[in-house]
C-alpha cells in the first residue's frame, strides 16, 4: 500500500495473540457473504479448516462488533464466548488435522468495508481495505498476518452490480430475485489483511501477459475514453517485473479496480489491487497525475508483501521498500536511466530533509515514517545491488522468494540469502543502511554522481553560484530537470526562446514566472494550450493577475476546460469568473451555485475540499455549503474529515 502509517495498529494487535499460530494452523476458509448495501450491512457464514499442532484447551478468531449467531465445531453446535473483539471456544482439543469451525455472523462494519454513494449521488460502491483496518470487521478471521489461509468466497449482492474479489471467478449466477451470486476461488494461501471485495458498476478489459496471466482492468462504464491513458504501460510493466524478479507472478490473475474516495493511492490486495479513481485520467492528465508509479508499486507487492509477508512491522521495509524499488526499476524500463536516477535523487533530498528536521529513524524501527519505509527502503536495495552486483542480487531474490513463498519473512531471512549467493559479509552494510538512524546522504550522492552524468550535470548547473550563466543554461542542451532548476532559481532570466522547450520546462515557467514581462505576454499565452492541466491552471492565474485587459479573453479561452479529477482548472476558472466584474455579469450567481454544488457528497473529496476553500476565500459558503461541510465531518476518508473540522473551526471563529 502507498502512504500508510497504520501498519503499527496491526503490530499492536499481533502482540496480543501472536501465540495462536504456534498451536493452530488455519488452512482454508469457505465463506458465503451477503452484502446488503442499502443497510450498510453484511451477513453470512464462514467455515475454516484447521490443524491442531498441539493439544489445546481453546481456540479463537477475531470478529469485531458482530452479532455471532452460531458456531459449529466439527459440525456440532458449540458454546462460545464473545466480547465484541474475539470469539473464543473453550474446549479440550487434541492435536489432529482437518478440524472445522463454522460461524454464522451479521454486522454493519464501521471500517474495513465501506459503503459509498448509497445515500447520495456518488457512484454506488462497496469496497474493502484490510491493511491497517482489520478484515475481522466484516468477516470473522485471523488478523495475525502470520497465519496464511486459502480463501474461497461466494458473494451475494444486488444483481445490477459487478462483484470483484480475490481469486478466479468460477461462475456467477442469478440467485434470489434481484440478487446475483459470485463464486471466487483462490489456489494459494494469504494473510487475511489482503482479502478484497469490490461491488460497483464496471466494465473491464482483459489482456494476457507474455506468460499468459489474465490482466483484468476495470473502469467505470462512462470512462471508456480514459481507459488507455489510465492503464498505459500496464502490460509492459507486468512483463518486465516477471522477467526482472525472475519468479513467475504467483497468483491466478491480476485485477485492478478504481474506487471512489479511496483511503490511499492504492492497495495491493492479493491479485486484486484497489486504487483511487483520482488516477483515472485523460491523455492530458497523464502528464500531471499518471497511475504508472502506483500501478507498478502495487504490482510489485504481489511478490513482496503478498507472496512473502513481513512477520511484524519491524520488517515493513521488506514490503514497502521493495515495492518502491521495483516500481522504480519498472519506470527505468519505460522512461530510461535519467528518470530512474532523478527519482532516486529526489527521494535522497527528501530523506536528507527528514534528517535535518530530526525525523529520521533506522529502517528497522517499526515507528518509521512512510518516507523511511518506502524511500530509504528503496535506496537500501539500490545500494545493496551496487555492492553485490546484479547476479548475486537477482539470484538472492529468487532464492528468497522461492524459499519463503506463501510464508512470512524477516529482514535476516533476506540478508542471509544475499550473503549466501554473494559470499560477502553484509554486517557493515546493514549497520549503515538498516540500523543507522541518519540517511547516509554522502554515500547516496556519491553513488548517483558515479553512475549518472545526468545527475552530475544537474548538480553542476547552479544559477545561484554563477548568476552570469543562467541565461546560457536555459538556451543550452542541458536536461529539462536542470533547466527547471534554473527557472526556479531565477525566473527573470527567461527569454522568448526558452518557451520553445518541452512541456516539462514550460510547466516550470508557468509555476515560477509569476510576474510576466510584457514582451513575453504572447509567448506566455501559449501556455494555456499546453497538454498539462497544472500548466494551464498556473498560466491562467498568472495571466489574469498580470494583464487586466486580457482577463475576459483568458476566461473565454478556458471556459470549457475542467482539468484533473478534482477539476483544478474549472474551480480556478469559476473563482476568477466571479471576481472579474466585466466578464458575464449576469452569470455570477450561476457560477457561485456551481461552486457550491461541488461541495456536495456526490463529488470526490479532493474536489470538495478545493470548492470549500474557494468559497471560504469568497466568503460565500452559504447554508447549503455549510450543511455539506457539516456532513463532511462524518466522511469515511480521514483527509476529508480533518479538512472539514479545521474549516468549520475557522468559520466559527
Distance between CA 591 and CA 575 in Å, rounded?
8
Report in angstroms how near the CB of residue 316 gets to Zn ion at its nearest. Answer: 10
Report in angstroms how near the CB of residue 123 gets to Zn ion at its nearest. Answer: 25
264 vs 433, beta carbon nearer Zn ion: 264
Report in angstroms how near the CB of residue 327 gets to Zn ion at its nearest. Answer: 9
Distance between CA 473 and CA 106 in Å, rounded?
67
Report in angstroms how near the CB of residue 193 gets to Zn ion at its nearest. Answer: 12
Among 18, 303, 44, smallest CA distance to 151 is for: 44
Report in angstroms how near the CB of residue 605 gets to Zn ion at its nearest. Answer: 21
Residue 239 and residue 207 in contact, taking contact as beta carbons nearer than 8 Å: no
276 vs 558, beta carbon nearer Zn ion: 276
Distance between CA 62 and CA 157 in Å, rounded?
24
Distance between CA 275 and CA 263 in Å, rounded?
9
300 vs 539, beta carbon nearer Zn ion: 300
Report in angstroms how near the CB of residue 510 gets to Zn ion at its nearest. Answer: 32
As to burial, measured by CB atoms within 10 angstroms (0-12 exposed, 13-18 middle, 19+ buried), residue 519 is exposed
Report in angstroms how near the CB of residue 348 gets to Zn ion at its nearest. Answer: 20
273 vs 538, beta carbon nearer Zn ion: 273
310 vs 523, beta carbon nearer Zn ion: 310
Angle between helices 234-245 and 377-403 (to 10 degrees): 70
Residue 170 and residue 252 in contact, taking contact as beta carbons nearer than 8 Å: no
Residue 117 and residue 125 in contact, taking contact as beta carbons nearer than 8 Å: yes
Among 493, 316, 324, smallest CA distance to 411 is for: 316
Residue 569 and residue 558 in contact, taking contact as beta carbons nearer than 8 Å: yes
1 vs 215, beta carbon nearer Zn ion: 1
101 vs 145, beta carbon nearer Zn ion: 145
1 vs 35, beta carbon nearer Zn ion: 1
Distance between CA 556 and CA 520 in Å, rounded?
21
Edge to edge, the sheet with strand 179-185 lists 76-77, 67-73, 99-107, 41-52, 24-36, 150-158, 179-185, 168-174
What is the DSSP code string of 408-451? EE-HHHHHHHHHHHHT---HHHHIIIII-SS--HHHHHHHHHHH
Report in angstroms how near the CB of residue 312 gets to Zn ion at its nearest. Answer: 17
Cell of 131: 491493511
What residues make contact with Zn ion under the rule CB under 5 A?
1, 320, 323
63 vs 323, beta carbon nearer Zn ion: 323
Report in angstroms how near the CB of residue 363 gets to Zn ion at its nearest. Answer: 15
Is residue 274 within a helix (H) or strand (E), and if so which, with residue range? Answer: strand 272-276
Among 317, 335, 419, 332, smallest CA distance to 372 is for: 317
Going along 74-226, which residue ranges are E strands?
76-77, 81-82, 86-93, 99-107, 113-116, 125-128, 150-158, 162-165, 168-174, 179-185, 197-200, 203-208, 214-219
Report in angstroms how near the CB of residue 242 gets to Zn ion at its nearest. Answer: 19
347 vs 452, beta carbon nearer Zn ion: 347
Report in angstroms how near the CB of residue 390 gets to Zn ion at its nearest. Answer: 24
143 vs 298, beta carbon nearer Zn ion: 298
323 vs 536, beta carbon nearer Zn ion: 323
Report in angstroms how near the CB of residue 367 gets to Zn ion at its nearest. Answer: 18
What are the beta bridge partners of residue 99?
A: 50
Distance between CA 224 and CA 596 in Å, rounded?
29
Distance between CA 483 and CA 298 in Å, rounded?
32
31 vs 327, beta carbon nearer Zn ion: 327
Phi, psi dihedral angles at 512 (to 5 degrees): -110, -25
Alpha helices in 490-567 (DSSP H): 503-512, 521-525, 533-546, 551-557
As to burial, measured by CB atoms within 10 angstroms (0-12 exposed, 13-18 middle, 19+ buried), residue 204 is middle
Report in angstroms how near the CB of residue 505 gets to Zn ion at its nearest. Answer: 31
183 vs 414, beta carbon nearer Zn ion: 414
Report in angstroms how near the CB of residue 131 gets to Zn ion at its nearest. Answer: 9
Distance between CA 318 and CA 381 in Å, rounded?
10
Amino acid at each position: 500500500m502507498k502512504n500508510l502509517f497504520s501498519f503499527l495498529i496491526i503490530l499492536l494487535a499481533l502482540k496480543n495473540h501472536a501465540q495462536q499460530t504456534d498451536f493452530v494452523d488455519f488452512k482454508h476458509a469457505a465463506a458465503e457473504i451477503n452484502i446488503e448495501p442499502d443497510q450498510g450491512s453484511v451477513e453470512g457464514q464462514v467455515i475454516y479448516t484447521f490443524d491442531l499442532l498441539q493439544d489445546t484447551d481453546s481456540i479463537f478468531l477475531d470478529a469485531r462488533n458482530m452479532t455471532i449467531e452460531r458456531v459449529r465445531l466439527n459440525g456440532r453446535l458449540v458454546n462460545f464466548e464473545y466480547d465484541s473483539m474475539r470469539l473464543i471456544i473453550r474446549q479440550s482439543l487434541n492435536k489432529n488435522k482437518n478440524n472445522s469451525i463454522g460461524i454464522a455472523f451479521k454486522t454493519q462494519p464501521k471500517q474495513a468495508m465501506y459503503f459509498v454513494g448509497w445515500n447520495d449521488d456518488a457512484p454506488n460502491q462497496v469496497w474493502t481495505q484490510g491493511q491497517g483496518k482489520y478484515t475481522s470487521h466484516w468477516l470473522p478471521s485471523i488478523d495475525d498476518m502470520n497465519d496464511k489461509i486459502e480463501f474461497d468466497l461466494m458473494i451475494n449482492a444486488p444483481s445490477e452490480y459487478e462483484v470483484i474479489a480475490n481469486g478466479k471467478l468460477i461462475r456467477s449466477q442469478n440467485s434470489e430475485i434481484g440478487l446475483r451470486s459470485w463464486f471466487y476461488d483462490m489456489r494459494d494461501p494469504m494473510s487475511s489483511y489482503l482479502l478484497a471485495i469490490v461491488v460497483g458498476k464496471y466494465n473491464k478489459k482483459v489482456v494476457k501477459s507474455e506468460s499468459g496471466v489474465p490482466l483484468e482492468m476495470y473502469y467505470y462504464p462512462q470512462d471508456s475514453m480514459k481507459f488507455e491513458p489510465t492503464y498505459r504501460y500496464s502490460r509492459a510493466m507486468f512483463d518486465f517485473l516477471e522477467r526482472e524478479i525472475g519468479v513467475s507472478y504467483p497468483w491466478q490473475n491480476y485485477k485492478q479496480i478504481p474506487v471512489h474516495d479511496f483511503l490511499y493511492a492504492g492497495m495491493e490486495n492479493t491479485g486484486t489491487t484497489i486504487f483511487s479513481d483520482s488516477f483515472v485520467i485523460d491523455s492530458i492528465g497523464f502528464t500531471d497525475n499518471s497511475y504508472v508509479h502506483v500501478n507498478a508499486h502495487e504490482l510489485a507487492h504481489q511478490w513482496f508483501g503478498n507472496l512473502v509477508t513481513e512477520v511484524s512491522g519491524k520488517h515493513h521495509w521488506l514490503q514497502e521498500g521493495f515495492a518502491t524499488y521495483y516500481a522504480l526499476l519498472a519506470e527505468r524500463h519505460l522512461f530510461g536511466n535519467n528518470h530512474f536516477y532523478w527519482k532516486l535523487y529526489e527521494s535522497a533530498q527528501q530523506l536528507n530533509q527528514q534528517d535535518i528536521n530530526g525525523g529520521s529513524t533506522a529502517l528497522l524501527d517499526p515507528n518509521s515514517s512512510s518516507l523511511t519505509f518506502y524511500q530509504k527502503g528503496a535506496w537500501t536495495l539500490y545500494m545493496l545491488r551496487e555492492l553485490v552486483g546484479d547476479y548475486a542480487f537477482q539470484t538472492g531474490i529468487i532464492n528468497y522468494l522461492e524459499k519463503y513463498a506463501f510464508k512470512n519473512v524477516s529482514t535476516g531471512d533476506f540478508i542471509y540469502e544475499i550473503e549466501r549467493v554473494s559470499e560477502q559479509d553484509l554486517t557493515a552494510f546493514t549497520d549503515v543502511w538498516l540500523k543507522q538512524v541518519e540517511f547516509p546522504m554522502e554515500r547516496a550522492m556519491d553513488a548517483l554522481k558515479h553512475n549518472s552524468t545526468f545527475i552530475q550535470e544537474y548538480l553542476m548547473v547552479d544559477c545561484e553560484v554563477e548568476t552570469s550563466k543562467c541565461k546560457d543554461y536555459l538556451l543550452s542542451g542541458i536536461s529539462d530537470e536542470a533547466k527547471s532548476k534554473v527557472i526556479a532559481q531565477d525566473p527573470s532570466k527567461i527569454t522568448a526562446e526558452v518557451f520553445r522547450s518541452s512541456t516539462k520546462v514550460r510547466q516550470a515557467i508557468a509555476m515560477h514566472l509569476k510576474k510576466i514581462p510584457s514582451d513575453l505576454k504572447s509567448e506566455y499565452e501559449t501556455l494555456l494550450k499546453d497538454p498539462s492541466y497544472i500548466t494551464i491552471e498556473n498560466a491562467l492565474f498568472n495571466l489574469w493577475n498580470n494583464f487586466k485587459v486580457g482577463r475576459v479573453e483568458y476566461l473565454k479561452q478556458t471556459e470549457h476546460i475542467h482539468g484533473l479529477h478534482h477539476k483544478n482548472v474549472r474551480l480556478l476558472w469559476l473563482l476568477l469568473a466571479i471576481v472579474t466584474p466585466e466578464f458575464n455579469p449576469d452569470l455570477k450567481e450561476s457560477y457561485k451555485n456551481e461552486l457550491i454544488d461541488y461541495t456536495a457528497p456526490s463529488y470526490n473529496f479532493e474536489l470538495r475540499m478545493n470548492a470549500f476553500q474557494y468559497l471560504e476565500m469568497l466568503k460565500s459558503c452559504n447554508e447549503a455549503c455549510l450543511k455539506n461541510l457539516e456532513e463532511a465531518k462524518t466522511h469515511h476518508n480521514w483527509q476529508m474529515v480533518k479538512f472539514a473540522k479545521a474549516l468549520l473551526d475557522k468559520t466559527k471563529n
